[in-house]
Amino acid sequence: MDDADKIGSTEFDVVYVQEATELDEDDWSMLLRGLRNGVLSYQQIIADCNPSSPDHWLKQRCNAGETLLLDSRHEDNPTLYDRASGAWTEFGTEYLRTLDSLKGFLYQRLRLGQWCAAEGMYFTEWDPALHIVPHFEIPAEWPKWLCVDYGFAVPFCCLWLAREPETRRIFVYRELYAAGLRDEQQAQRIVESTNDERLALRILDPSMFNLRTEQQRPSIAAVYWAHGVKPVYPGMNSRKQGWAIVRRALAHDHDAPRLQVLHGAAPNLTRTLPSMVVDPLDPEDVADAIRGAKTEDHAVDALRYGLCAEAQPPTSDAPTTLRWG
């Protein structure tokens, strides 16, 4: 749209925008402002686009719940895929061959439909077609554990993981993700969600074991313990080693990935993991911020703690130090 002011006095019932990521947010706001015609029983703006950067204004609106995002795949296009036969059309086969030849962030966006950064996607192994699997009930006898990344003003995240004994494949089967909850509220939510499940480990953000001497309060880990999340162990805090463990779990070079997420079970993990980018100052690490804005790394940090604990579990005979002030 070359000049949004030109439609300032125009009224609409329905607006359709193609390639909406090419609009500025002010353009979008002007279109929303024009939804006041009142002839139809509803007014609505509809748009399509290819994925762009995860910090694009349109994706941020979707993340905030201000706009509804409906994901579509190439299989949804009847020109490309024939659902009756379950096969790609001749045109679809040629088109997919072209998309498969793309590299880097263009492949992630245009072939896989991911909102990933052009600056350098960190977890290039991520493929939702491989890593997100249909939901199923986790057998009671499978080893299970949980892992927490702490937050209050920003979200805290707790993930529940289970390991299939025969294949040692790991499944993320539950997620808690919320901001503004006090330490004891977080613990209570975790206890309620866990219910009577038997957990082998409870791994916490290592910062949760720090003594809060200035506030004369016990450590966050001690509060968790007092409210039923026990016993607890600190997660391994070596970021680079931890990210390497995560990447190995996501790898699918020769076989199915070892790490998979049950469909719908961890929406914030599957939303934020592909948005992690390489730290420009240290290519072995995930960037802590992008253009001055803190990355939303709470779910991937929790995942890192959980996978590291599975790879190098804490010894049961080593006491966990909890500080009470």
Residue 150: the pLDDT is 97
Q: Which two structure tokens, joined as six digits, stand for 151?
A: 């937050």
Q: Could you report the per-residue pLDDT of 233-268, keeping only the tens digit for each? A: 999 989 999 999 999 999 998 889 999 999 999 999
Mean pLDDT of the chain: 90
Residues 291, 234 within the same domain: yes
Residue 126 lies in a domain: no
Q: Are residues 174 and 306 in the same domain?
A: yes
Return the pLDDT at 9: 80
What is the rounded distance in angstroms from the CA atom of residue 129 to the CA atom of residue 173? 17
Q: In angstroms, rounded to a whole number, what is the distance separating the alpha carbons of residues 116 and 105? A: 7
Does any domain span residue 62? no
207 shares its domain with 305: yes
pLDDT score of 119: 63
**Which pLDDT does position 93 carry in this prediction?**
95
**Which of these, 209, 174, 201, lies nearest to 189 by C-alpha position?**
174
Residues 181 and 301 in one domain: yes
Please check whether residues 108 and 23 belong to one and the same domain: no
Count of domains forming the chain: 3
Residues with Cβ < 8 Å from 272, sequence gap 6 or more? Answer: 54, 296, 297, 298, 299, 300
Question: For residue 302, what are its two tokens?
Answer: 């929790």
CATH code assigned at 197: 3.30.420.280
With a cut of 50, which residues of the chain have pLDDT below it? 319
* Beta strand pairing call for 233-234 and 156-163: unpaired
How much is the pLDDT for 295?
87
Instruction: Check if the beta carbon of residue 71 is closer than 8 Å to that of residue 113.
Output: yes
Inter-residue contact 152 to 179 (CB < 8 Å):
yes
| pLDDT tens for each residue of 184-200 | 999 999 999 999 999 99
What's the whole-model pTM score?
A: 0.72
For residues 210 and 287, membership in a common domain is answered with yes
Look up tokens 């350098």; give the residue. 120
Structure tokens at 183: 């330490």
Q: In what order do the strands lie in the sheet with 233-234?
A: 132-133, 259-262, 170-178, 156-163, 144-149, 201-204, 233-234
Task: Give yes or no: residues 141 and 245 share one domain.
Answer: yes
Q: Which domain holds residue 93?
A: 74-119
